[in-house]
C-alpha cells in the first residue's frame, strides 16, 4: 500500500492556473481540472484579488496574487494553464507585466494556453470556437500531460 501511495504522489502534477480580470476563465479551468484530476495540486495565481478569489472558490488548493506570485509559482509548476495573454507582456488590459510573461515563457512547465482574441492578440485558426469548447480541449491536453510520467 505504501508503494502505491508513493507512485501516486510521483504522478501528481503541480498545475498553475493564471488568470486576470474577474478570473472567470481561470474559474472554469480550475473546476474542470478538479473533476478529472482530483488529487493534483492546483495553484491559482490571479493578476488581481478578484481573479484569485474566483479560482480559489472553484477548488484550487492554493492561491496568490500579483507579479511576484507568478514568477515564484512558475518556477515549480509542471503545467501552466491560462489565456494566451499570460505569455504576452501588457496583455489582459495591462495586467500581465513583462516579468510575468517572461516567467511563464521561461518556465520548464508545459504550457496549455487558451487562445483568447482580445487585447490586440489575434490567434489565427480558432475562429468560431466557443470558449467552452476551447476549455474542453485544454482540459483534454492537461489530462494527457498529467498522465505522462
Chain centroid offset of residue 16 CA: 5
What is the reported pLDDT for 12? Answer: 78
Please report how many Cα atoms fall inside a 13 Å half-sphere around the Cα of residue 59, on the Cβ side. 15
Q: What is the pLDDT of residue 119?
A: 64
The enclosing H or E element of 46 equals strand 41-46
Q: Which long-range contacts (CB under 8 A, 24 or more apart) does 131-137 make?
A: 131/25, 131/28, 132/28, 135/25, 135/28, 135/29, 135/32, 136/32
pLDDT at 10: 52
Per-residue pLDDT of 73-115, as tens digits, reads 999 999 999 999 999 999 998 999 999 999 999 999 999 999 8
Task: Give the predicted TM-score (pTM) of the model.
Answer: 0.89
- The residue ranges of the chain whose pLDDT is under 70 are 1-10, 117-119, 149
Amino acid at each position: 500500500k505504501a508503494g502505491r501511495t508513493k507512485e501516486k504522489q510521483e504522478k501528481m502534477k503541480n498545475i498553475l492556473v493564471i488568470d486576470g480580470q474577474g478570473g472567470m476563465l481561470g474559474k472554469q479551468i480550475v473546476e474542470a481540472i478538479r473533476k478529472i484530476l482530483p488529487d493534483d495540486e492546483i495553484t491559482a495565481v490571479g493578476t488581481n484579488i478578484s481573479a484569485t478569489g474566483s479560482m480559489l472558490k472553484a477548488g484550487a488548493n492554493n492561491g496568490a496574487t500579483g507579479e511576484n506570485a507568478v514568477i515564484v509559482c512558475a518556477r515549480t509548476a509542471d503545467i501552466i494553464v491560462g489565456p494566451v495573454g499570460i505569455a504576452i507582456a501588457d496583455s489582459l488590459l495591462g495586467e500581465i507585466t513583462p516579468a510575468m510573461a517572461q516567467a511563464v515563457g521561461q518556465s520548464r512547465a508545459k504550457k496549455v494556453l487558451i487562445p483568447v482574441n482580445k487585447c490586440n492578440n489575434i490567434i489565427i485558426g480558432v475562429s468560431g470556437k466557443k470558449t467552452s469548447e476551447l476549455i474542453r480541449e485544454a482540459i483534454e491536453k492537461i489530462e494527457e500531460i498529467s498522465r505522462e510520467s
